[in-house]
Homo-oligomer: A and B are copies of this chain.
Amino acid sequence: MERINSLMQLLTYLVNFSEAELEIIASCFKPKSFNRNTIILEREEVCKEFYFVYKGCLRTYFLDIEGRERTRYIMLDFNIGTALSSFIYENPSFEYLDALEDTEVLAISYSDFYRLNKELPNWTFFYQKILEMAYSFQNKRIEDLIMLSAKERYEQLIKERPEFIKRLSNKIISSYLDIAQETLSRLKSK
């Protein structure tokens, strides 16, 4: 119950859902668990689930031409998301989705997600917020990567997402900030 209550809290924070709507939504989410370092979605697989992370850490990333991991998005406790581009269009995914910690989620299937989108106007507004946030986040990321130095990006992360620094390995943080691991170690030691 605690898991579903947390999700309901997040949902009502974003949109003014009625009790009846929340009940319908709650019935669509199923609990799942992933062990640390499990790949949940492989490249070329179609992403068929959307997640609420109750506890743990999910991440989307892709491999560049040299086979290096490029981390796109990180979801810690009480965050929502998925490999969104693949999920939206039912396309083979370019990115991977994995669990970086032992992770407990609530998952909603593609078919339930888009059925709610048709049937519950407030779910449509919830999905709108998700898309608006995802787009703006992506835009901001591109701007930061171009406009800020490695040091500035690291300092911004300390300020805005201190929990990332505490919980994620140097490997993950450096791939998220797009800086070399040695640079990150140097910045951390200062």
Chain A residues close to B by CB (< 8 Å): 62, 64-65, 70, 84-85, 88-89, 94, 117, 121, 124-125, 127-128, 131-132, 134-136, 138-140, 142-143, 146-147
Contact = CB atoms under 8 A, between A and B. Distances in A.
Q: How many copies does the complex hold?
A: 2
A88 B138 CA distance: 14
Given A65-B147, A94-B143, A147-B64, A84 B128 contact: no
Nearest to A118: B125
Question: Which 10 pairs show the lowest CB-CB distances between chains A and B?
Answer: A131-B131, A135-B135, A138-B138, A85-B139, A85-B136, A88-B132, A134-B135, A64-B146, A124-B124, A94-B143
25 contacts: A64-B146, A65-B146, A70-B146, A84-B135, A84-B139, A85-B135, A85-B139, A88-B132, A88-B135, A88-B136, A89-B132, A117-B128, A121-B121, A121-B124, A124-B124, A124-B125, A124-B128, A128-B131, A131-B132, A131-B135, A135-B135, A135-B138, A138-B138, A138-B139, A142-B142
